[in-house]
Structure 1
Amino acid sequence: MFDTIAAISTPRGEGGIGIVRMSGDDSIKILSKVFRAKSEKKVEDLKSHTINYGHIYDGEVLLDEVMVSFLKGPKTYTREDIVEINCHGGYLITEKILELLLKKGARIAEQGEFTRRAFLNGRLDLTQAEAVMDIIHGKTDKSISLSLNQLRGDLKNQIGILKKMILDVAAHVNVVLDYPEEGIDDPLPDNLMDNLLEVLKSSDVLIASYDKGKMIKEGVKTAIVGKPNVGKSSLLNTILKEERAIVTHIAGTTRDIIEEVINLKGIPLILVDTAGIRTTDDVIENIGVKKSEDLIDKADLVLFVVDGSRELEEEDIKVHDQLNADKVIGILNKIDMERKLDLTPLNKVGKWIEISATENLGISNMEDEIYKYIISGQVEDSSQKLIITNVRHKSALEKTKQAVENILETINMGLPMDLMAVDLKEALDSLSEVTGEISTEDLLDHVFSNFCVGK
């Protein structure tokens, strides 16, 4: 924890600029051994929160011309002294500068260690630290907006409000139990009962927001399925506006999974083009068919594509029978041709959308309908509402909710007040888990192992 750590914070490879970062008490000392400012000032005399032009030397060997940012703690990301060396962005030069810093006394940073230090030093709580990672991995404007709200402290502040409400109840209970001679009434006052009900309601709202938050953050895995030659690959190409999948009149062209991501009104839609499902003696195609059938079960949403210009066939029925009616949208393709298909037997599909993938007919309407189906009426602007995106937060809030329900049941049954103490502690501990005030080393290792080195 008290070592000075160093890492390359920009992606490896060629680029205009590369950044090598240090954090720790010896950052300035190590920098003074390798950096010579053009102004000829000593490193120790450089003003904090400034950027300084100069050169990096290994002994008398010039390594690079650089700009160096020096930030004196505690007004830094980690609340420690931080140095950032902005060098040329080649793969070799950043590695050489990092190796030099390690040789002069720093050690290589572990994954997420800069942000972990920010958490341990009180600069961020755990929800904000997780938001940093979510911003890095954000796929859409909406997902980044949610992460920025969390980084700003919106979830942290809401959890703080709920904890205060529970603490008020706990304080009353402790006074009643510890000072019976004071004659304080056993029943909770109305305002404290309101506290419990508000915690219950708020926990419920946050828990309910998780499914939507998960979609915005991680995306909706959407499998495009159907028998061969109904236009699955054409549909993928049309949505992507590029020839991503091979399209021919020959059945069985698509033999493996093709996966692409599009931004559907702020939700990442992970489109998966699958092999046409049919009975075949081709060993390789059979593997693709098996993958398609597995995806029907694993996907969040299934687009079941049928060919409107052909009569219903046994292969259509075979695909239809494998569908889960709760997560399927029907796509009636080839509406630019004479209609021959009767949809009546395909009764698992509650909604059909008519399109022509090759003629680009109905595609915009299809995207609108898919979005409505995914959101299921919850189309309010996510920036106006606190939404959780992390299963860890959901799990902790579920424990909070259960503890409060137990407290209310104890009150309703007229049981002694001392029975509430365990559940009050559970509610407080669960809320503290969200922000990381109560955390285990294993939990922190899990959270920060998902970060890249240098962040």
Structure 2
Amino acid sequence: MKLIDKSTIVSIATAKSVESAIGIIRLSGNDAVSIANLVFKSRSGKILDNSTARLMLYGNIVSEDKIYDEVLAVYFPAPNSYTTEDVVEFQCHGNAVILDEIVKLIIKNGAIIAEKGEFTKRAFLGGRLDLSQAEAVMDMISAKTKAGFDIALNQLSGSIGRNIDYMLEKFTDLLAKIEVTIDYPDEDIETLEYESIRKDLNLINNKIEVMIKSFDSGKIYRDGISMAIIGTPNVGKSSFMNRLLNEERAIVTNIPGTTRDIIKEWVNIEGVPVNIIDTAGIRITDDVVEKIGVEKSKEIFNNSDFVVLVLDATNELSEDEKYFISLVKEKKSIVMLNKTDLNCKIHTEDIKKIYEKDSIIECSMLYEHGIDEFKNMFKSIFLNENISVNSMETITNSRHLSSLINGQNSINEALKAMDGSMHLDLIQIDLLNAYTSLGEITGKTIDEDVVNRIFEKFCLGK
């Protein structure tokens, strides 16, 4: 796949939605330097060229003696740049209005505005990154926890690509052996090659299986999960949310029905990004506003990845709560038995009769008892302890998973064909299909339309 469009592109590379001291504008393409020199005048009189490559030049963005901003400029010559093309970056003041004006000026002098992800797309098409590394760039930007960032950073370093390249090299050798066997049938080597092929395919299959098994935990580290906190009014749902956030995010009173709307916040629990949803207490009510909150709570319960049911240990279980327990036991869940610092009327054993699980924690939100136990139990429910954020085999991307499964299916078809003593021509087809599927992960065998769809998900300037 070759880059056809040689236009010089420009975009703001830093976030525009927040105030910042510095804003970066990036140009890439054959004319990046000549366009940059039209709008940039250094205080030293030097221009951007090979003699000043990778040196910061101090000066101004100007047009017809009008100064737009005081900036630093740096030139990265091709091919040793992010995109493998000539790249120029201006470090400007982080005012969104001024940044937009400078971009307009650069476009007026011959550049075009970059599409979403176009800088990274050019890095991929230029051979600096494989497709899995390019996708890791966006994962690093959007990571919500350190663990998620570390996985993306590991993938950016080429961890997935090295695994896939190893497998593709094995397939290339296998296909070469099969070709020789087909071309020289009288050499009586087919039985020997069958055993050699089977051994290599089982080795590749084992590597694929490890990567597939890492996906559930890996995806959780990347995308996070939604966690609904449910229960009847005034049992401590909002207090529980506040303890996890370490701040008074939700209003807490002793008046039932205080939380009427849905409150959502992201929090890091054992490295996992969790979207906590504090719901209105579920009960029969005549209050119109509270009724709406209750209906929203039911909807969130049904759509959440994980449920925390909070109960008040000082009250006997109501029929509603018994019903809630019977519902949550069908989902990934934990029951928090709150207010155990007071005189308790229900205990863990009472809940187990209905819940039929061990994921019950006696706690006190007032004294913050049970929060650490909750975090440990949460981790044991969701994360595979064998998965390391630094593992070369950890995958987080659904596209990668699909390609691995398709590759594995083709390998299994080849193994079945060998078990049935099918001709090597048929086995060769299955191996070619496996090669194509695995090559899609790094972009070796992927078509242009898929590449375009992947980079459309990126942010501008990247």
Question: Normalising TM by the smaller chain, what interval?
Answer: over 0.9
| Structure 1 residue corresponding to 2:193, chosen from 181, 188, 212 | 188
Q: State the shift of 1:153 in Å.
A: 0.6
Cα deviation, residue 132, structure 1: 0.3
**Does structure 1 retain, via aligned residues, the 8 Å contact 2:27–2:89?**
yes
Are residue 142 (structure 1) and residue 150 (structure 2) matched?
no
Q: Name the counterpart of 1:61.
A: 66
Asked if 1:152 is matched to 2:157, the reply is yes
Aligned partner (choices 22, 25, 29) of residue 20 of structure 1: 25
Distance 1:442 1:257 in 2: 40
The equivalent position to 1:413 in structure 2, one of 416, 420, 428, is 420
In structure 2, the residue matched to 1:431 is: 438
SS at match of 1:383: coil
**Alignment-derived partner of residue 103 in structure 2:** 98
Structure 1 residues 453, 344: CA separation in 2 closer, same or farther (over 3 Å shift)?
closer
Over 3 Å counting, the alpha-carbon distance change for 1:427 and 1:380 in structure 2 is: closer
| Alpha-carbon offset, residue 324 of structure 1 | 4.3
How far, CA to CA, are the matches of 2:47 and 2:249 in structure 1?
57
Q: Which moved more, 1:156-165 or 1:324-333?
A: 324-333
1:327 to 313, 325, 332: 332
> Alignment RMSD, CA only?
1.7
SS in 1 for 2:11: strand
Q: Match for residue 355 of structure 1?
A: 363
Q: Is the 8 A contact 1:176 1:186 kept in 2?
A: no
Per the alignment, residue 9 of structure 2 pairs with 5
Q: 1:58 to 1:127 in 2, by over 3 A?
A: same
The partner residue of 1:283 within 285, 288, 295 is 288
Task: Report the Cα offset of residue 343 of structure 1.
Answer: 2.0
Match of 2:407 in 1: 400
Q: Please give the alpha-carbon distance, in whole angstroms, between the structure 1 residues aligned to 2:419 and 2:208.
A: 20
1:50 and 2:55 are equivalent in the alignment: yes
Relative to structure 1, the CA distance from residue 120 to residue 81 in structure 2 (aligned partners, 3 Å threshold; closer, same or farther) is same
Q: Equivalent residues in 2 for 1:51-450 (5 A)?
A: 51-186=56-191, 188-341=193-346, 342-375=350-383, 378=385, 381-450=388-457
8 Å CA contact 2:49–2:75 kept in 1: the answer is no
Measured after TM superposition, the shift of residue 63 of structure 1 is 1.3
**Kept after mapping to 2: 8 A contact 1:214/1:390:** yes
Specify every segment of 5 or more residues in structure 1 that has no aligned partner in the other structure, as ranges: none
Give yes or no for contact 2:214–2:387 (8 Å, CA) kept in 1: no
Q: Structure 1 counterpart of 2:408, which letter? A: K
Separation of aligned partners in 1, 2:12 and 2:340: 54
Specify the code of the residue in structure 2 equivalent to 1:5. Answer: I
3-state SS of paired residue (1:305): strand
Contact kept? 1:256, 1:288, Cα under 8 Å: yes
CA distance in 2, matches of 1:272, 1:151: 32
C-alpha deviations, 1:180-236, integer Å up to 9, x for none? 234332453533321100111111110110000011111121111111111111110
Distance in 1 between the 2:425 and 2:256 partners? 71
Secondary structure of the 2:354 match is coil
- Does the CA-based 8 Å contact 1:203-1:397 persist in structure 2? yes
Task: Give the distance between the partners of 2:403 and 2:387, measured in 1 at CA.
Answer: 25
Whole-Å Cα distance in 1 between the matches of residues 358 and 299 of structure 2? 22
- Match of residue 32 from structure 1: 37
Q: How far apart in 1 are the matches of 2:233 and 2:447?
A: 52
Percent identity, aligned pairs only? 39
Deviates more, 1:436-445 or 1:33-42: 436-445
Q: Secondary structure at the match of 1:123?
A: coil
Letter of the structure 1 residue corresponding to residue 362 of structure 2? E
Q: Is the 8 A contact 1:8 1:20 kept in 2?
A: yes
Return the offset for 1:384: 3.9
TM score, norm. by length of structure 1? 0.96
CA distance in 2, matches of 1:171, 1:424: 11
State the distance in 2 between where 1:333 and 1:402 align. Answer: 49
Question: Are the aligned partners of 1:168 and 1:192 in contact in 2 as well (CA < 8 Å)?
Answer: no
Residue pair 2:307, 2:331 contacting (<8 A) in 1 also: no
The total of aligned residue pairs comes to: 454
Checking the alignment, whether the CA contact within 8 Å between 1:8 and 1:94 is kept in structure 2 is yes
C-alpha distance in structure 1 between counterparts of 2:263 and 2:351, whole Å: 28
What is the DSSP-based 3-state SS (H/G/I as helix, E as strand, rest coil) of the residue aligned with 1:171? helix
Farther-moved stretch of structure 1 (88-97 vs 21-30):
88-97
Q: Offset of 1:56 from its aligned partner? A: 1.2
Whole-angstrom CA distance in 2 between matches of 1:236 and 1:42? 57
Does the CA-based 8 Å contact 1:34-1:59 persist in structure 2?
Answer: no
Instruction: Give the match's secondary structure for 1:271.
Output: strand
CA contact (8 A) 2:48 2:75 kept: no
CA contact (8 A) 1:186 1:417 kept: no
Note the residue ranges of structure 2 that are not aligned, 5 or more in a row.
none
With 425-434 and 347-356 compared, the bigger mean Cα shift is at 347-356
**Structure 1 residue 380: Cα displacement:** 5.1
Instruction: Give the deviation of 1:348 after TM superposition.
Output: 4.4
